[in-house]
Structure 1
């Protein structure tokens, strides 16, 4: 059997790419190493932040396109995916100036509050002196979003295979051969959207083609959910990002996950790991958890910092946190989402489908270095 496109990976990016390719009329086979909805990668869990708060115009433009794409998916699937709870950014004035300028240039709604005003409005949080509020930000229901994309891909004709671990990819004059277990599967093109596993699967081929991947650091991150204290309703919790004025302190993000508590995480400060389950130690590091609890005790008074429910997840980190999206011959790659790619899901699917089928260019910052 030869298909137009094999997609490797059924996280948010692979699911979106399979949907976009199938809806564009391509025959698609999606291969996922683990079971549907697994927790070994970067896409698992119930919630993710949706926000427009980026300092660069191209990223802000992609968030606007993503918001509309999520709304379209809600209408077509009949599922609730995006809640506009609002999003706040606070802390470092230089970071906030850049975000305000980029959002203002795009015509997005944005309010500026003092830290005291923000604390009165959202008593579960404490703030530095300056706060930006974006009413269009909020949270995505992550598991629901992926299921909706996978179902849409299947409805458009894609074949989905779970428990199909890809061992190798070969390129020849007829396209690609993907080896999954004892099978050798042939396609005209392949999209490798396997997150932390993409460098291992595609890195050698890209190196041989003279278009190497940048160094992708795979790290083990440890956010946690904290129980909400009595008296605070769901409306008291926008999603939030804190850029500390202290240059030595890391950025922190958080949001309410209904039924689980407020998720808080220190952004991208975990150790490098091998992503394979047999080599990855998912035990929670007590020292790192204590640092997170210390932050929560100071800045998130609306939760019980003594009762964390810790989470283990992967980041695939690219230089400057910019995504890697590019095509070299019949090979299209997606990696380096650096903990902030989920919100762009359906737009990333469209970008990858355009690359794979038509060579449609993506923003320069996402492309591999030229040969």
Structure 2
């Protein structure tokens, strides 16, 4: 990288945002011998966004082949990343979805069409297998699901990117992005500016603020989500990743915001949360404090449905969701600006595959499925 007065350097691609998606993009670009620098606003291991913590669900359980295909690709790449960095990231625990929502049948149909292993369990069979969870309906088991260690995953992606030649810089806020032409951008920081052919902007909750009018983003809703770790009454071993969906309009759906997700976080307890129903926030002005009514509902859910946890012993967690109107991601390019945002609380599992998509967008302009475009169909 060549430095000049007032200029930090000239590279092929600048990646802005060192969470899971930006780090994955830097890895995928660097391994293709693209000269890349990754700029992260905060210090390594920060807790301001959506990529921190010790646990995220990994699953193939989607009703459509596009998401299943991305998850399969991501699973292969997570294993490759583990070998590349000598870090354990993905633990297979199996996953279970239950409840009286018809979406479970859509999941089963999608898994069957894609040839993903799964089978139904009766409430009694599910209870015998996971006595820490109460079941009153049939349950859909998918054995290939599990959990990812989020902090280690981000660190491994950055380590692999650096090993392949990327420059990774933390505590380097990007102050502005200036488009010069179809093949030239300036990325400004307090320490100088980077000139590049492409910029990949993967800042999620900060996308609207940083991009302004540089890309035709769909509406983005940023919320502060507030799951919690509940103390397990016995060992955390053996807990599956969990989805519980209530029928629309039911009393339970109203009380528990439509449904629940959960998984074990070794050493911290059983992580339980509502999906995408936290209060809207400015990502630069968060209080990291649970909303009292939702926290009370979370504890009540644990009392009613999770005999394997102590509903009175919990540690709240805070993270952000950046959600699009249809909950599909934004993975698209406008001129020299590649954008990754709107991961809607379910993106982490896909990170290395999304990194490949972003690399394709930056290098060749190859777009993924239309559902991820700026303008949805």
TM-score w.r.t. length of structure 2: 0.93
How far residue 286 of structure 1 moved from its aligned partner, in angstroms, is: 2.0
Structure 1 residue 362 corresponds to structure 2 residue 368:
yes
Tell me the distance in 1 between the aligned counterparts of 2:324 and 2:121.
33
How far residue 329 of structure 1 moved from its aligned partner, in angstroms, is: 1.0
> Aligned ranges for residues 130-209 of structure 1 at < 5 Å?
130-173=138-181, 175-206=184-215
Partner of 2:14, secondary structure, is: strand
Structure 2, unmatched stretches of 5+, are 1-8
Structure 1 residue 91 corresponds to structure 2 residue 124:
no
Partner of 1:164, secondary structure, is: coil
Structure 1, unmatched stretches of 5+, are 207-211
Tell me the distance in 2 between the aligned counterparts of 1:341 and 1:36.
20
Partner of 1:109, secondary structure, is: coil
Tell me the distance in 2 between the aligned counterparts of 1:92 and 1:356.
43
Moved more, 286-295 or 11-20: 286-295
In the superposition, relative to structure 1, how do residues 345 and 91 fare at CA in structure 2: closer, same or farther (>3 Å)?
same
Tell me the distance in 2 between the aligned counterparts of 1:66 and 1:300.
30
Tell me the distance in 1 between the aligned counterparts of 2:89 and 2:15.
23
Q: Deviations over 1:169-216 (max 9, x none)?
A: 11013511111125222111100001101121124112xxxxx11100
How far residue 45 of structure 1 moved from its aligned partner, in angstroms, is: 0.1
Q: Is the 8 A contact 1:218 1:316 kept in 2?
A: yes
Aligned match of 2:246:
244
Q: Is the 8 A contact 2:100 2:137 kept in 1?
A: no
How many residue pairs get aligned? The number is: 361
Moved more, 177-186 or 189-198: 177-186
Tell me the distance in 2 between the aligned counterparts of 1:93 and 1:319.
21
In the superposition, relative to structure 1, how do residues 116 and 246 fare at CA in structure 2: closer, same or farther (>3 Å)?
farther
C-alpha root-mean-square deviation of aligned residues, in Å? 1.2
Moved over 4 A (4+): none
Tell me the distance in 2 between the aligned counterparts of 1:52 and 1:275.
30
Aligned match of 1:67:
75
Q: Is the 8 A contact 1:90 1:127 kept in 2?
A: yes
Alignment counterpart, residue 310 of structure 1, candidates 313, 316, 333: 316
Structure 1 residue 321 corresponds to structure 2 residue 327:
yes
Tell me the distance in 2 between the aligned counterparts of 1:56 and 1:321.
14
Tell me the distance in 2 between the aligned counterparts of 1:103 and 1:349.
24
Alignment counterpart, residue 275 of structure 2, candidates 267, 271, 277: 267
Aligned match of 1:334:
340
Q: Deviations over 1:211-266 (max 9, x none)?
A: x1110000000000001103x4502x000011112535222100000000000000
Aligned match of 1:209:
none
Q: Is the 8 A contact 2:236 2:266 kept in 1?
A: no
Structure 1 residue 106 corresponds to structure 2 residue 114:
yes
Aligned match of 1:299:
305
Tell me the distance in 1 between the aligned counterparts of 2:77 and 2:110.
21
Q: Is the 8 A contact 1:254 1:265 kept in 2?
A: yes
Structure 1 residue 126 corresponds to structure 2 residue 134:
yes
In the superposition, relative to structure 1, how do residues 261 and 233 fare at CA in structure 2: closer, same or farther (>3 Å)?
closer
How far residue 46 of structure 1 moved from its aligned partner, in angstroms, is: 0.5
Tell me the distance in 2 between the aligned counterparts of 1:2 and 1:40.
29
Q: Is the 8 A contact 1:4 1:187 kept in 2?
A: yes
Tell me the distance in 2 between the aligned counterparts of 1:245 and 1:336.
26
Q: Is the 8 A contact 1:220 1:271 kept in 2?
A: yes
Q: Is the 8 A contact 1:53 1:89 kept in 2?
A: no
Partner of 1:186, secondary structure, is: strand
